[in-house]
Structure 1
Amino acid sequence: MFSTVDPVLLARVQFGLNISFHILFPAINVGLAWVLVYFKRKLAKTGDEAWMDAYRLWVKVFALSFAVGVVSGITMSFQFGTNWPGFMDRAGNVAGPLLGYEVLTAFFLEATFLGIMLFGSNRVSPRVHTLATVLVAVGTSLSTFWILALNSWMQTPTGHEIIDGKIHVVSWWQVIFNPSFPFRLTHMLLASGLTIAFLLAGLSAYRWLRGDRGGDVRAALRTGVFLGAMLIPAQIVVGDLHGLNTLEHQPAKIAAMEGIWKTGTSLPAVLFGWPNEVESRNDWELVAPIPGLASFYLTHDFKGEIQGLEAFPNAHPPVLPVFLAFRVMVGVAMLMLLVSWVGAWQLRRRGEPRPWLARTLVGMTFSGWVAVLAGWYVTEIGRQPFLVYGILRTSEAASKVPAPLIGTSLTLYILLYLFLITSYIAVLFYLARQAARKDGEAFKAEAETPQPVIPNR
């Protein structure tokens, strides 16, 4: 079945599938860890147990996501040896230490104190429990730091030299703080915050529609909506800065994102189209009516020059997936902006969502995942045909594993991940229903408890 398929393509698809599945869970946990810290802070400040009730539900979501993320991360790392031995052979002097730092400084920190977060609320003091929550949050952010340092170096490699075909580090400072790292790290941290914002709002709106109006629901719902409303404008600004950086260091990626085939100035913005690589043009192209708009938002100059794909023969990414993924990412971001701002205005005015807003939030529960995946595809597919940009081509790092073997394992991965993601989503909504049931039983028990009779004076 797979004997006629290019094994390098299959290996790329398999690694893309693994990293697509894996990134879903860090995208939740990095933001969720700090939201849990916020819940603890609000509890300490107000004394309102609703914040602790919200914490108890969402720490379970964190633990579930952490477990699935760890397992999927292990299978992903195996592929460095099975499908991409050339990467570690050529770039292992950079990748190995950075991945090791991530395990030593981040993973152990998360794994050590997660148990206290889950089971220690009644066994340790509130301060120790809060400290454990803060340390886990720091661990998730450190993990993001090291992983993004490696990925950013692969996009904009600096601080190295090549000896006998192998990459050696000259300056760790330049390797870690490479030109794109600050923008990618900030962009990813904000993306994680937005992912958990809409997950919070969506699951809380789901409980709201089921009649659960407890204080923890209101607290989580407001946190999610207002967090999204605050972060999405910041993400748009950071995205613009990230785009300027990408234009400077990876102009071929920008050309693919925008569907620009020929170098020129005062270029229009292509709102939609279907890139045709055979004829080097966009079919069914829809152009914005503002002249020079693409040049303006890419260079901040209506007359700015943009290099087209013609300037990168045999060294530009596949245009169609990058072009479409970029529009999905931007489209979801605009929808997030609209829904979060309308939701924030409505919650401030009414104190509760209208049914149509609650249903919209439920529909956008996993919108953060869509945006993260779309952005990740722009980043990773847009780096092709290089694994380390300008230094190591993807085809040079692939193994000699036959296509049928890769295809078989790819099929098994697809089936396994479909089962896991379906189960994960089902468990999230089960936890939400269970929390609603417990709140309902507590309310009923309180209502049925005989109240002391106070005699009239």
Structure 2
Amino acid sequence: MFASVDPVILARIQFAANITFHILFPTISISLAWVLLFFKLRYNKTGDESWMNAYRVWVKIFALTFALGVVSGITMSFQFGTNWPGYMETVGNIAGPLLAYEVLTAFFLEATFLGIMLFGMRRVSNRVHTIATLLVAGGTTLSAFWILALNSWMQTPAGFEMIDGRAHVTSWLEVIFNPSFPYRLVHMLLASGLTVAFLVAGISAWRWLRNDRSRDVMHGLRTGVTLAAILIPLQIVAGDLHGLNTLHHQPAKIAAMEGIWKTEKGAPAVLFGLPNARTQSNDFEIAIPKLASIYLTHKVDGEILGIDAFPDRHPPVAPLFFAFRIMVGVGLLMLAVSWLGAWRLRRNGAPSKWLARVLVAMTFSGWIALVAGWYVTEIGRQPYLVYGVLTTAQAASKVPATMIGSTLAMYLSLYLLLIVAYISVVFHLARKAGKNGDPSAPVIEAPQPVIPGQPRSAS
């Protein structure tokens, strides 16, 4: 079945499947940890048990997400040796230390203090438990820092020299803080925040529709909607700045994203079309004249390089063209829903049934936008694995297509099963929380916070 397929293509599909599955979970755990910290701090300040109830519900979802992120991350690391040996052989002096820094400075921190978050509430003071939550949140963000430093370096490599076909570091500061790193880090952290915002809002709205009108449900609903309403405008600005940075360093990626085949001044913004690689044009194109030049160069007649400027070194156009529009489309939908939801909650104090249903439908919308954006980033780097340094074909292994294909089929089957199981368990935990009021969890009792002016109880 797979014998006639190019092994490099199969290896790329397998890596795409693994990274797509893996990235779903760190994206949630990065920002959900900060939402948990917010719930905990609100409880500490007010003494309101409903904030702790919200913490109990979401800390279990966080633990589930963290576990799947760890397991799927292990699979990612194996692929470097099995499918892409040329990658570590060529740039291992840079990739290896950055991956090690992530494990040493972030993963150990998260894994250690997650135990205190889950099982230490009755064994440590409230202050120590709050600090543990803070350290887990910091660890998740630190993990993102190191991983994005490596990924950004692969997009815009800097601070190295090639000696005998291998990359050697000349400046770690330039490697880590490479030209695209600040934009990529901010863009990813905001994407994580939006994913979690709609997850929390959606699950809370689902509980509300099931007639669970407890205060922790409303805390989650307001937190999610407000967070989304704040973050989405920031994401639009960050995305625009990231696009300008990409235009400077990876113009071929921008040409594919925009569907611009010919270099021209006053390039139009293509709203819709069907990219046709054979004719080097977009079929059924709907475009706004000169708009692409305006938002990319801030000039009406600014010149935009087209695909024709990169005859042998450009990514496939169609996947980037459609993935970019999915990402932008979902982002605009997030903007409309979050602002409308924030206005409704501020005005009436509770959602309407139709708004709650929309929020439930948007529960995992962050995943859709995230995966689309990640595909734009990764496919847009082709034909390079490390932009301008190492091509995908040069890094690929000699593993037969049949072997890669069989493992790919197993991966896809397993990932589909795990995704369905994860979503089912998330809704099960939410349903159980609504049924039991105060959900059962490893976190059983909440320590009483010390409120200024109020003496401690004898207990």
* TM-score normalised per structure 1: 0.95
Shift of 1:299: 1.3
Q: Which residue of 2 aligns with 1:258?
A: 258
Deviations for 1:240-295, whole angstroms, at most 9, x for unmatched residues? 0000000000000000000000111111110011111111001111112xx31110
**Does 1:16 find its partner at 2:10?**
no
CA distance in 2, matches of 1:441, 1:106: 30
Amino acid paired to 2:198 = F
Q: Which residue of 2 aligns with 1:451?
A: none
Amino acid paired to 1:342 = L
Q: Which residue of 2 aligns with 1:40?
A: 40
Equivalent residues of 1:212, 1:440 under 8 A apart: no
Q: Which residue of 2 aligns with 1:179?
A: 179
Q: Which residue of 2 aligns with 1:29?
A: 29
Shift of 1:307: 0.3
Shift of 1:441: 10
How many equivalent pairs are there?
A: 440
CA distance in 1, matches of 2:438, 2:411: 40
Equivalent residues of 2:56, 2:439 under 8 A apart: no
Shift of 1:236: 0.2
Shift of 1:41: 1.0
Equivalent residues of 2:274, 2:318 under 8 A apart: yes
Q: Which runs of 5+ in 2 are unaligned?
A: 441-459
**Relative to 1, partners in 2 of residues 1:46 and 1:440: Cα closer, same or farther, differing over 3 Å?**
closer
Matches within 5 A, 1:47-58: 47-58=47-58
Amino acid paired to 1:292 = K
Amino acid paired to 1:178 = N
Higher relative contact order, chain-length normalized (CA < 8 Å, sep 6+):
2
Q: Which residue of 2 aligns with 1:136?
A: 136
Moved over 3 A (4+): none
CA distance in 1, matches of 2:425, 2:438: 20
Q: Which runs of 5+ in 1 are unaligned?
A: 443-457
Amino acid paired to 1:354 = S
CA distance in 1, matches of 2:77, 2:432: 35
* TM-score normalised per structure 2: 0.95
CA distance in 1, matches of 2:45, 2:322: 46
Equivalent residues of 2:433, 2:439 under 8 A apart: no
CA distance in 2, matches of 1:412, 1:377: 22
* Residue among 363, 366, 377 paired with 1:365: 363
Shift of 1:120: 1.4
Which secondary structure state, in structure 1, belongs to the residue aligned with residue 437 of structure 2? Answer: helix
**Does 1:315 find its partner at 2:313?**
yes
Shift of 1:440: 8.5
Amino acid paired to 1:361 = L
CA distance in 1, matches of 2:314, 2:59: 43
Q: Which residue of 2 aligns with 1:61?
A: 61
* Residue among 392, 405, 408 paired with 1:407: 405
Matches within 5 A, 1:305-344: 305-344=303-342
Matches within 5 A, 1:182-331: 182-288=182-288, 291-331=289-329
Deviations for 1:93-116, whole angstroms, at most 9, x for unmatched residues? 000000000000000000000011
Amino acid paired to 2:68 = V
Question: Which is further off, 15-24 or 39-48?
Answer: 39-48
Equivalent residues of 1:37, 1:133 under 8 A apart: yes
Amino acid paired to 2:311 = P
Shift of 1:298: 1.1
Q: Which residue of 1 aligns with 2:386?
A: 388
Instruction: Report the aligned-residue RMSD.
Output: 1.0
Q: Which residue of 2 aligns with 1:433?
A: 431
Q: Which residue of 2 aligns with 1:397?
A: 395
Equivalent residues of 1:232, 1:333 under 8 A apart: yes
Deviations for 1:179-202, whole angstroms, at most 9, x for unmatched residues? 000000000000000000000000
